[in-house]
Structure 1
Amino acid sequence: MLNVLFPFAGGIGLFLIGMMLLSSGLVAFAGGALQKALIRFTGTPWKAFASGAVLTALAQSSTATTVTLIGFVSAGLITFTQAIGVVIGASLGNTATGWIIAGLGLKINLGFYTLPFIGAGALLKLLVSGRWGELGTAIAGFGILFLGLDTMQDGMQGLSSVLDLAQLPSGGFGASLLIMLIGLIMTAILQSSTAAVATTLTAVHAGAINFDQAAAVVVGASIGTTLTSALATIGGTIYAKRTALAYILFNLGAGLIAVLLLPGLLYLAQSLARHLGLEAGALGLAAFHSLFIGLGVALFMPLINPFARSIARMLPEREGDYARHLDATLLNVPEVALGASQRAVHEIIERVFLVYQQVLAMERPAALKHDMLRVRGALEQAFDFVTRIPASADDDKLNRRRVAQLHAIDHLMRLCSRLNEPVAEQADFNGRELSPAARRCRDILALAGEGLAGRLEKGWVEQVGRDAAALAELSRQVRHDILQDTGPGRNGAAEALCKADAFRWLERGANHVWRISHYAADDFGLARERA
């Protein structure tokens, strides 16, 4: 018994390791090209669908595509509707591996012929660093994948003589649901629907299970593949959860179609295999997999916009969630991660500047302190996120953007603290003495806001700096005059200090606005320069 189980279990392990090495190596070798292609070719839902299908077939992992996609949606680089198109395409692209295994892997002893790939890939990984070393990882993974498939096939031949898997329930709706559950559990354990499908294809090829049973296992594996994406969203952003839910609902829908139409789909798949001159076993099963996913595509894609709106209603966006773009999965792509943090920082700037304007206008919102605490929490998350973005020794522009964002966040934190100071509550900014300085401060805020929104010509940052410097000079002069005018019959000491503190508060607030504008504009300019 052990001489049967050990090769089978080892074959599954080799297949999984090979697939992981192939997927991670290809993605790392691409150096972000796959991710950039995903962003570039998702203009419409159908383009997004095609991108998801092609990239998943290339990367040999729907999980790699969907996890990367979740980060891009969180960063706001693609819309949620486009993301749904990609995940639907990823589901179809995931069926490509089944065709490769059924068409080549089970007919030719590819494990023997790919042994040199393992040696060549390992040597390349050991001798060369960087992207070409990652290509070596992918090449070695390719060889190990087919070596595992051959080992698993040998184990399955022996297993079929020991265990009569064909005695599992067959025929009827209840039996199909039970076997679907087996496929789902297999995928959950293996953490790969591709491995579960490969095992099923091998079992069909060895005659261990019949075609109907194998089809139900494949349906269960298709549903089970969504578990990895669901787990990846735990503690993630609202966009991550929406994308995972869309992936789960699509695969559930396609699986339900397959169960309800199973007899007809099986007949169609076998007829298609005969018409194309294919054997009814493994290749017929690969055709069945693509067929029921294709039916799901035909059903969901025309309704993609209502589908997206329904999911958005199920998982509504929380108001004031300024850190919603900061998805940890983006940290592997520094340029995209900086784009996400930039978007978060700019939203926070807009909110802080608005609150500052309200304080200067003596409107002081009742929830000011609570709002600033929430903003400060988002700033702390943003600071932590940016510090975790890997610095690059050979990319000065990226490093400058990273440092600029950290400086902007630092000044935003300081400005938030000032908005909560007692001076902000006690000063009369509409009074005769403070109103000229407060008006200048409001003008500085308005100029900075317009500039950061991209509505001003070049040079606005320097103008903000000059206006802040002029306000600082006015503040120093007025504070000097106030302190000179203290004494019997004139300003009392406490009154003079309060007025001086108010002018100093305005001066330092304007300085923070200038520094925030400087660093945020520098970050935005560098981002535009890279585009």
Structure 2
Amino acid sequence: MDWQDILFKFVGGLGIFLFGIKYMSDGLQKSAGDKMRGLLEKYTSNPVLGVLVGVGVTILIQSSSGTTVMAIGLVNAGLMTLKQAIGVIMGANIGTTMTAFIVGIKIEEYALPIIAVGAFFLFFFNKKKFQYIGQVVFGFGTLFLGLSTMGSGVKPLSELPAFTDFMIQLQDQPLLALIVGTVFTMIVQSSSATIGILQTIADEGMISLKGSLPILFGDNIGTTITAVLASIGATVAAKRTALVHVIFNVIGAIIFMILLVPVHSLVLWLGEGVNIRMQIAYAHGIFNTTNALIFLPLIPALAWLVTKVIPGKMQEIEFKAIYLDERLLATPAVAFGQAQHEILRMGQYARETLNDASTFFFSRESRVGELALQKEELINELNRKITDYMVKIQQQNGLPEGESEKASGWFQLVNDIERIGDHAENIVELSEFSINKKVEFSEEAGRELKEMLTLADKAVERALAALEHNDVTAAQEVLDYERELDEMEVKFRKSHIQRLNQNLCTGNSGAVYLDILSNLERVGDHSKNIAQFVMHEEQT
């Protein structure tokens, strides 16, 4: 027996299979744009919708782990509630069964022509749309090529007594089979891959359907490791979300292990006349769908349980406009008042993003940087929603002339607030560059940046206070702060040049330092615009 040939074909086939899934998934994601995250953010208002969205997104990206990690990211930023995330995770588990059904089709002999079609689209079309289609088709063909390679690699093992004895042992000891499935998936970190391998081994006649089922249930437990790893160092809410994923799959596996005999009979009945690969796909679908139906009414209880197991305060941010009601557009004056509330809310998030960016620069904690970027995404979303709403208000022509001018002024302020968020995002990206390139700053440079960041935060805080309370005194303070920021930038630039001349700073650190100064000076300018608007309104 040629062990090298077996090992190379199995490992290489697994690599090709994983590449096929990833490449197909990337193509699907690109062709769908940013719709997956948008679906998760917008259409998970109730558990049933959450399940359906989880199914849809996972079918689109072909990765339940990807959907679950995405949900954890949204919960981590407070952009999705725990109950919403539970529904999405249930749906993700159902959606991931699509890969098993694809593998069950058994079209390995057509793998190379499919790859050729994909390559044709990739290399002979310039339009992105066709290239994405090519990527999906190429990945689809590669997936089957990997399966075929793995199958030819493991086939000789059927003649090895030690291997066949182990397979028989797994069939006689379901608990051992469950553990094998769990551990293997934890190592590979892809239930789609391990279930694909299981389908291949079963197709070669090395294991029966009954022996495959406990391994399949173990694969579903093992896939939770990705969510657990994603929650390390994250917020309390994200850890609770990961724990829900573990509880959901572990309890489901226990239930199905107890009902192993009737489940086996059900799969045989449903899969009569189809190949064993498709029968395993049926079992996978039954497991996740039944599990979701069992736990759907228990979502509040699950949320309560994980809250008790992982105590702590969690931050919740609604990733949507909470004051903009389309029904109020019939009364433009009231609608304008609501828009003002939303603009102020957007401003608070802009200030929080700036503070998070500042904290990230000094602490270098990736979680804080991610939070800043997620809040900046929220600011962009609010910018779009508020702009659309304000346009609709002005189209109503129901505001008096003076109020209409005022509304136009507030309309402009949205851009200033959005730009503050953009400058905060720039600081996060500059901080990431510093971390990746191991850029070090002198003690004096760090002190100067902290001083300017603190002043920029004061300018934003007073600008928002002036806007909310129509406070001219606060607005005047902003103008003073803005002048001070301008002076600081000039002064600190000169200090930086002196440090460069004295070799106290490197070129990389100097470039980052100057870019941050520039961004903070621009934050002051946008704060000044807000203050000047308040002063102008008071004078008129």
TM-score class, shorter = 0.5 to 0.7
Shift of 1:41: 2.4
Q: Could you tell me whether the CA contact under 8 Å between 2:12 and 2:146 is conserved in 1?
A: yes
The corresponding residue for 1:7 is: 9
Report the TM-score, using the length of structure 1 for normalisation. Answer: 0.64
Q: Could you tell me whether the CA contact under 8 Å between 2:347 and 2:417 is conserved in 1?
A: no
* Inter-CA distance 290–61: structure 2 relative to 1 (3 Å threshold): same
**Alpha-carbon distance in 1 for matches of 2:221, 2:252:** 9
The corresponding residue for 2:297 is: 302
1:87 equivalent in alignment to 2:97: no
The corresponding residue for 2:112 is: 112
The corresponding residue for 1:245 is: 243
User: Any residues of structure 2 matched to 1:159-178 within 5 Å, and which?
Assistant: 159-162=157-160, 165-168=163-166, 175-178=173-176
Q: Could you tell me whether the CA contact under 8 Å between 1:87 and 1:247 is conserved in 2?
A: yes
Shift of 1:348: 9.7
The corresponding residue for 1:142 is: 140
The corresponding residue for 2:199 is: 201
**Alpha-carbon distance in 1 for matches of 2:209, 2:55:** 26
**Residue in structure 2 matching 1:468, options 471, 475, 485:** 475
What per-residue deviation string (whole Å, max 9, x for no partner) do you get for residues 29-51 of structure 1? 32201211222321210110011
The corresponding residue for 1:314 is: 309
Q: Residue 312 of structure 2 aligns to which amino acid in structure 1?
A: E
* Inter-CA distance 348–113: structure 2 relative to 1 (3 Å threshold): closer
1:40 equivalent in alignment to 2:47: no
Moved more, 41-50 or 23-32: 23-32
Shift of 1:132: 5.8
Q: Residue 120 of structure 1 aligns to which amino acid in structure 2?
A: F
Shift of 1:65: 0.8
* Inter-CA distance 169–517: structure 2 relative to 1 (3 Å threshold): farther
**Residue in structure 1 matching 2:530, options 514, 518, 530:** 518
**Alpha-carbon distance in 1 for matches of 2:49, 2:120:** 37
**Residue in structure 2 matching 1:65, options 67, 89, 94:** 67
* Inter-CA distance 257–451: structure 2 relative to 1 (3 Å threshold): farther
* Inter-CA distance 318–411: structure 2 relative to 1 (3 Å threshold): farther
Shift of 1:251: 0.8
Larger radius of gyration: 1
Q: Could you tell me whether the CA contact under 8 Å between 2:103 and 2:196 is conserved in 1?
A: yes
* Inter-CA distance 23–343: structure 2 relative to 1 (3 Å threshold): farther
The corresponding residue for 2:33 is: 31
Q: Could you tell me whether the CA contact under 8 Å between 1:215 and 1:285 is conserved in 2?
A: yes
Q: Could you tell me whether the CA contact under 8 Å between 1:448 and 1:464 is conserved in 2?
A: no
Q: Residue 265 of structure 1 aligns to which amino acid in structure 2?
A: V
The corresponding residue for 2:393 is: none
**Alpha-carbon distance in 2 for matches of 1:252, 1:304:** 16
**Alpha-carbon distance in 2 for matches of 1:136, 1:13:** 20
Q: Residue 109 of structure 2 aligns to which amino acid in structure 1?
A: N
Q: Residue 227 of structure 1 aligns to which amino acid in structure 2?
A: I
Cα RMSD for the two superposed structures? 4.5
1:414 equivalent in alignment to 2:454: yes
3-state SS of the aligned residue for 1:31? Answer: coil
What per-residue deviation string (whole Å, max 9, x for no partner) do you get for residues 288-343 of structure 1? 22222223212211110111122122223348x7xx97xxxxxxxxxxxxxxxx98
Q: Residue 117 of structure 2 aligns to which amino acid in structure 1?
A: F
Q: In structure 1, list runs of 5 or more residues that go unmatched.
A: 326-341, 351-371, 420-443, 453-459, 474-510, 523-531
**Alpha-carbon distance in 2 for matches of 1:305, 1:389:** 26
**Residue in structure 2 matching 1:285, options 273, 277, 280:** 280
Shift of 1:136: 4.0
Moved more, 130-139 or 377-386: 377-386
Q: Could you tell me whether the CA contact under 8 Å between 1:164 and 1:208 is conserved in 2?
A: no
- Over the matched positions of the two proteins, sequence identity in percent amounts to 28
Report the TM-score, using the length of structure 2 for normalisation. Answer: 0.63
3-state SS of the aligned residue for 2:173? Answer: helix
* Inter-CA distance 150–121: structure 2 relative to 1 (3 Å threshold): farther
Q: Residue 300 of structure 1 aligns to which amino acid in structure 2?
A: F
The corresponding residue for 1:356 is: none
Q: Could you tell me whether the CA contact under 8 Å between 2:178 and 2:218 is conserved in 1?
A: yes
Q: Could you tell me whether the CA contact under 8 Å between 1:348 and 1:375 is conserved in 2?
A: no
* Inter-CA distance 134–8: structure 2 relative to 1 (3 Å threshold): same
3-state SS of the aligned residue for 2:233? Answer: coil
More helix by share: 2
The corresponding residue for 1:187 is: 185
Moved more, 24-33 or 39-48: 24-33
Q: In structure 2, list runs of 5 or more residues that go unmatched.
A: 318-343, 385-414, 428-449, 481-522, 535-540
User: Any residues of structure 2 matched to 1:67-466 within 5 Å, and which?
Assistant: 67-102=69-104, 104=105, 106=106, 109-123=109-123, 128=126, 133-162=131-160, 165-168=163-166, 175-274=173-272, 277-279=273-275, 281-318=276-313, 346=348, 377=359, 384=369, 403-405=419-421, 414=454, 448=464, 463-465=470-472
* Inter-CA distance 154–383: structure 2 relative to 1 (3 Å threshold): closer
**Alpha-carbon distance in 2 for matches of 1:80, 1:516:** 39
Q: Residue 302 of structure 2 aligns to which amino acid in structure 1?
A: F
**Alpha-carbon distance in 2 for matches of 1:193, 1:244:** 16
3-state SS of the aligned residue for 1:78? Answer: coil
Q: Residue 143 of structure 2 aligns to which amino acid in structure 1?
A: L
* Inter-CA distance 170–129: structure 2 relative to 1 (3 Å threshold): same
Q: Residue 19 of structure 2 aligns to which amino acid in structure 1?
A: I
Q: Residue 82 of structure 1 aligns to which amino acid in structure 2?
A: Q
**Alpha-carbon distance in 2 for matches of 1:123, 1:164:** 47
